[in-house]
Amino acid sequence: MTTGKAYVASVFEKVKAQNAHEPEFLQAVEEVFESLVPVFDKYPKYIEENLLERLVEPERIVSFRVPWVDDKGQVQVNRGFRVQFSSAIGPYKGGLRFHPSVNQSIVKFLGFEQIFKNSLTGQPIGGGKGGSNFDPKGKSDNEIMRFCQSFMTELSKHIGADTDVPAGDIGVGGREIGYLYGQYKRLRNEYTGVLTGKGLTYGGSLARTEATGYGAVYFAEQMLKDRGEDFAGKVALVSGSGNVAIYATEKLQSLGAKVVAVSDSSGYVYDPEGIDVDLLKQLKEVERARIVKYADARPSATFTPAGEGSIWSIKADLAFPCATQNEINEEDAKALVANGVIAVTEGANMPSTLEAIEVFQKAGVSFGPAKAANAGGVAVSALEMAQNSQRTPWSFEEVDAKLYDIMKGIYDNSAAAAKEFGAEGNLVVGANVAGFLKVAEAMSAQGIV
C-alpha cells in the first residue's frame, strides 16, 4: 500500500514538472504538502481517490486582455486573471490584486492558499484569486475607473453571487471596488452581492475595512495567551502601510502594544514614540502619499530608504509582516530572533520564506501562518455576503464580535489539528491540516469531479 509520504512526494514531483515556471505557486504547494503526509497515512481513501492531485489543479483559469484609454488618449493594454481553484465548500472567494508583479504563478499561489484559509474560517466559501499587472500608482481616478470598467467587462462573464465573489487585495481598495461594482451592475442589471469590500452606502459591511488587520491581532492574542503573555508593553513592527498594516497597528496600540515602525515599497519609518495612526491614515488613505511623508510630518520619526536597511533589524517583541509575499527571508528571520522577537504573525499572504519559517520554529518563536492569521478579511467578506443575502446590515460591534470568535476558532482548530497529527505547537502544520480536512471530505463526498 502506498504510504502518505510516497504519495505526497509523487504528486509534488508531477506538480513541479507541470508548473516549473511558477516559483511562487510551487512554494505555496510545497509548504502545504509537507504538512499533509500524516493525513494520508490516516485516511488512505484520499490516496485511492487521488485527491491531492485533483486539489492542486485549479478548476478553471481565465486569462484575458484589458484594454483601456489613459488621460492622454493613448490605448493601454494589461493582462487580467481569475483563478477559480476550488468550489468544494462554496462559491469561489478571493481578492483581486492590481500590481505590476501579478502573473499566473502569483495568482495561482494566492488562490491555492485561499482554499485553506477560507476553509479555516468555517464559512461556506471556496478558493479563488485574480488580478492584473495594472499599476494604480500614479494613475488618475478617471484612468483607474476606465481600467476597472474594462476589467469588469470581461470578468463579469465568469463571476456571480453564487458562483464567484471577488474582493480587494493589493492595489484594490474601496475606490476600485466601487468602480468594479458599478460596471458589473450596469452590465448585468443586477443589484447583488457579487463583490465584497463594498462601500457602506451600497451593501458593504461595517468592520470589513478593519477586518484583516484586526483579525491578525486577535490571532496573535491567542498565540501570546498560550505563552502566558499579552500585548501590554510589547514593542511591535508592522511592515506595509496599507489597509492591513494600518488596522493591525490601530488594534495593537488599543490593546497596549507600541508599534514603532511601518513601511512601503520606498522604505520604512521608525518612530520610537509609537506610530501615529491618525497621521498614517491621512497620508495613506486620503493623500495616497509615500511613507517618507510620515517622517516629514513627525519630528520623532526617521525614514530609511529601501535598500539601505530592513525594518526587521529593529529590536521588537512582535513582528507583523503585512506587506507582500517573501518579504522576510532567512537573514531577516535570524535578525528578528537575535533581537528577541517572541511572536511573528503573518498579515500578508506568504510573507515569510520557507527558510525563514524554519528559523522561527527552531528558535521557539510563536508563528502564525498567513492562511490562518490573515483570514479575518475573507471571514468578514463572508459575513458581508450573508448580510447582502438577508438584506440586513449588522452593527460594527456585532461584526467585530463574530470576527473575534472566528479568529479564536481558527487558532483553536489549528492548534488541535497540530496536536492530533504529531506536531503540537506547529500552527503551520495545524492550519494546513485543519483547512485541508474539511475540503477533502467535501470533495470525497461529491465524487470524482
Residue 1 pLDDT > 80: no
pLDDT at 368: 98
Task: Say how far apart CA 55 and CA 61 lie, in whole Å.
Answer: 14
Q: What is the DSSP string of 329-370?
A: -HHHHHHHHHTT--EEE--SSS-B-HHHHHHHHHTT-EEE-H
Overall size of the chain counted in residues: 449
Instruction: Count other C-beta atoms under 10 Å from residue 1's C-beta.
Output: 8
* Structure confidence by residue, pLDDT tens digits, 241-274: 999 999 999 999 999 999 999 999 999 999 999 9
| Arithmetic mean of pLDDT over the chain | 97
* Structure confidence by residue, pLDDT tens digits, 9-59: 999 999 999 999 999 999 999 999 999 999 999 999 999 999 999 999 999
- pTM of the shown model: 0.93
Provide the annotated active-site residues.
Answer: 129
Task: Say how far apart CA 80 and CA 60 lie, in whole Å.
Answer: 14
**Percent with pLDDT over 70 in the chain:** 100
What are all long-range contacts of 27-31, with beta carbons under 8 Å and residues at least 24 apart?
A: 27/109, 27/326, 27/350, 27/353, 27/354, 28/109, 28/112, 28/113, 28/350, 29/56, 29/112, 30/354, 31/350, 31/354, 31/357, 31/428, 31/432
How many Cα atoms sit within 13 Å of 422 on the Cβ side? 7
Backbone angles phi, psi at 220, to 5 degrees: -60, -35
Provide the pLDDT confidence category of residue 433 given band limits of 50, 70 and 90. very high
Please compute the mean of the pLDDT values over residues 188-207 and round it to a whole number.
96
* Structure confidence by residue, pLDDT tens digits, 61-116: 999 999 999 999 999 999 999 999 999 999 999 999 999 999 999 999 999 999 99
pLDDT at 118: 97
Provide the pLDDT confidence category of residue 150 given band limits of 50, 70 and 90. very high
Q: What nine digits make up the cell of 84?
A: 477559480
pLDDT at 73: 98
3-state secondary structure 221-289: HHHHHHCCCCCCCCEEEECCCCHHHHHHHHHHHHCCCEEEEEEECCEEEECCCCCCHHHHHHHHHHCCC
Task: Say how far apart CA 335 and CA 316 lie, in whole Å.
Answer: 10
Please compute the mean of the pLDDT values over residues 122-132 and round it to a whole number.
98
Please compute the mean of the pLDDT values over residues 385-396 and round it to a whole number.
96
Q: What nine digits make up the cell of 204?
A: 458593504
Contact predicate 248/214, CB 8 Å: yes
Provide the pLDDT confidence category of residue 449 given band limits of 50, 70 and 90. confident
pLDDT at 420: 97
